[in-house]
Structure 1
């Protein structure tokens, strides 16, 4: 369940189940809430599974497993992937160096299995791996006025500047860690990490003190990230090769060996993958999984679609053939669509996951 279910219920939340957790889907009028985040600021309980990795060999161990280089400096983080031997994404995660430990934020439902798998592979190295999902809360603050929001309630430090960096301070006398995100909603974003026992105090402060903020749930998260051109784990990432998604920000091609590196590097060196992720503007709302056709020929499929609150029209993400020649396509049962540049909406930030492909 959500670590703050009663708080969300008191604010009128409607819930949904995701990976065994009961999370707020929306608080009523999600389109209006979406626009409130774009034009101001919103707060969401972020559904991560959290691992804590300790021991003298913690950085080396995690660095050898993931696709990106794990920072060795306290206060820095990275976005990275865990891939199978065929180079397909098994999960995506954020890793932060917190001094004597690493914090790893993984998709919900994957933390316990990942911890068990890694423990089985530790032999002579000094590495400890624990699941801390039930001990820590992660609260996302996103929107064009997110910086002002965090600054209005944060004590003892300034708002961290940069991408995937953090600092420690207090909110309402509660010790917190404040992370500057890589802007997955296309707006300025921060994540506030605190102990589970203090989470309600921090969430109440973020919503009701200082600059005003609205609570939002998974439905608005989905619409914001789609408008921002951010591929998500469940819909776009899982089972695909990073190059298909243009996720250069998640892979360090200069680092040492990691599982799946040979396949990913081979695609990179060849110059282009077989498919790519694109945006579509549609005449009607397609379903996820709907076929994408070019002059009657199947060229891909829709991964996610919404009625965009910002654009007032249906939009979608789709994986299509890399060398697609035409921009005018059909989707599903004859829905007209055209390829659109990502992101769909330019906000106060730019998602680091917007697909980028080599020349």
Structure 2
């Protein structure tokens, strides 16, 4: 559940469920909140899981399991994947080196299973793994003035200027860690991490102190990340080979470990992928559901992964996985037995203040 559900309820939130967690869907006007983020700064409580890895061998252990190189320096992080033996994505996660421990930020429903699985695989190494989700609160700050917002409330440190790096400071009387994130909404972005007991005070500081920030929920997050062309775990990543999605930033092909030598090199050397992720803009106001078939003429060439009405483009837009060699720009999407015309569109759909690190790179 949300760490500060009562605060969200006082704001008039409508709640829903994502990946087994109770979350804020919206506060009544998600399109207005969307524009507030695009024009200024917004405040969001995402649903995450947190795994803590401690012990003298923590760096070596995690580095051998994930697809990217784990940073050795305190204050640095990376985005990485856990792949199965066929090179398909089992989970994505952020890995942050916090000195004597690593913090792994995962999809919310996977932290406990990941902690249990890794704990069972530890033999002679000095490694302790535990699910620490309930110990932390995480708040996202997104928008073209997000850096100014963080600077207006963060004490004891300057805003981090490199993606995946972080600083420690305070907001009010609460200690916080501020992470420069990967701009999944296509805007400047930070995660503010604090102890769960400090969540209400930190959220209030972020919302009302310094520059005001507009609270928003998952309905707005969905449209922001779609406009930015960011593939997400639940809709695009899970079970997919990374090069199908163009996720080059999550892979280190020079790693000298099991993942690096066998799985990641297999991903790199699979040859041309069979599919690729593209953007579509549909005619009319119909919004297809995930799995809707995409046709080129009479031939089925792929399927929609997710779709929304874009508040900025004022049109129905979608991400779709289609055949790699698809050359046509005009397709149709099958919606309740009707073929809706759609045009292939360059990603991102909307260019914000920053480009998402997950924007497909082929």
After TM superposition, give the deviation of residue 173 of structure 1 in Å.
Answer: 1.8
Q: TM-score, normalised by structure 2?
A: 0.97
Secondary structure, counterpart of 1:113 in structure 2: helix
1:56-88 CA deviation, whole Å, 9 max, x = no partner? 100100010000111010000000001111111
Gaps of 5+ in 1: none
Give the structure 2 partner of residue 8 of structure 1.
8
Equivalent-residue separation in structure 1 for 2:318 and 2:21 (angstroms)? 26
1:253 aligns to what?
253
Q: Corresponding residue for 2:22?
A: 22
- 1:321 equivalent to 2:292? Answer no
Whether the 8 Å CA contact 2:77–2:95 is kept in 1: the answer is yes
- Asked whether the 8 Å contact 2:93–2:104 carries over to 1, the reply is yes
1:17-166 equivalent positions in 2, closer than 5 A: 17-166=17-166
Q: Which runs of 5+ in 2 are unaligned?
A: none
Deviation of 1:130 after TM superposition, in Å, equals 1.3
For 2:176, the equivalent position in structure 1 comes to 176
Asked whether the 8 Å contact 1:72–1:97 carries over to 2, the reply is yes
CA 1:258 to 1:33, structure 2 compared with 1: closer, same or farther past 3 Å?
Answer: farther
After the TM superposition, which of the residue ranges 320-329 and 259-268 deviates more from structure 2?
Answer: 259-268
CA distance in 1, matches of 2:7, 2:267: 47
2:298 corresponds to 1:293: no
Shift of 1:170: 0.5
Q: How many residues align?
A: 357
Distance 2:282 2:321 in 1: 15
CA distance in 1, matches of 2:267, 2:139: 37
Contact 1:83 1:260 in 2 (8 A): no
Distance 1:263 1:198 in 2: 41
Secondary structure at the aligned position of 1:134 is classed as helix
Contact 1:140 1:189 in 2 (8 A): yes
Q: Calculate the aligned-residue CA RMSD, in Å.
A: 1.2
Alignment partner of 2:64: what SS? helix
* Aligned mates of 2:269, 2:87 — CA distance in 1: 14
**What residue number does 2:349 align with?**
344
| Match runs of 1:229-308 below 5 Å | 229-259=229-259, 262=262, 264-283=264-283, 284-308=286-310
Alpha-carbon contact 1:146-1:189 (below 8 Å) kept = yes
Q: Deviations over 1:325-347 (max 9, x none)?
A: 21110111311011111111111
Describe the superposition over 1:153-202 as per-residue Cα deviations: whole angstroms up to 9, x where unpaired: 11111111011000000001211000000111000000000000101000
Q: Calculate the TM-score normalised by the size of structure 1.
A: 0.97
SS in 2 for 1:235: helix
Query: Alignment partner of 1:116: what SS?
Result: helix
CA-CA distance at 1:266 after TM superposition? 3.5
Q: CA deviation at 1:285?
A: 2.0
Alignment check: 8 A CA contact 1:68 1:78 kept: yes
- Distance in 2 of aligned mates of 1:338 and 1:265: 35
336, 353, 359: which one aligns with 1:354: 359
Change (3 A) 1:261 1:49: farther
In the alignment, the residues of structure 1 paired with residue 261 and residue 361 of structure 2 have an alpha-carbon distance, to the nearest angstrom, of: 19
For 1:264 and 1:294, locate their aligned partners in 2 and report how far apart those are by CA, in whole Å. Answer: 32
Contact in 1 for aligned 2:241/2:267 (Cα 8 Å) = no
Deviation at 1:272, TM superposition (A): 1.9
Structure 1 residue 21: Cα displacement: 1.6
Q: Is the 8 A contact 2:347 2:359 kept in 1?
A: yes
User: Is the 1:292–1:330 contact (alpha carbons within 8 Å) kept by the matching residues of 2?
Assistant: yes
Structure 1 residue runs of 4 or more that deviate by more than 6 Å after TM superposition? none
CA drift at 1:95:
0.3
**Structure 1: how far apart are the matches of 2:270 and 2:59?**
31
Residue by residue over 1:276-324, the C-alpha shift from the partner in whole angstroms, topping out at 9 and shown as x without a partner, is 0000011132221100011110110000000000110000000000110
CA offsets per residue over residues 97-137 of structure 1, 9 Å max, x none? 00000000000110111100000000000001111110100
Distance 1:45 1:261 in 2: 37
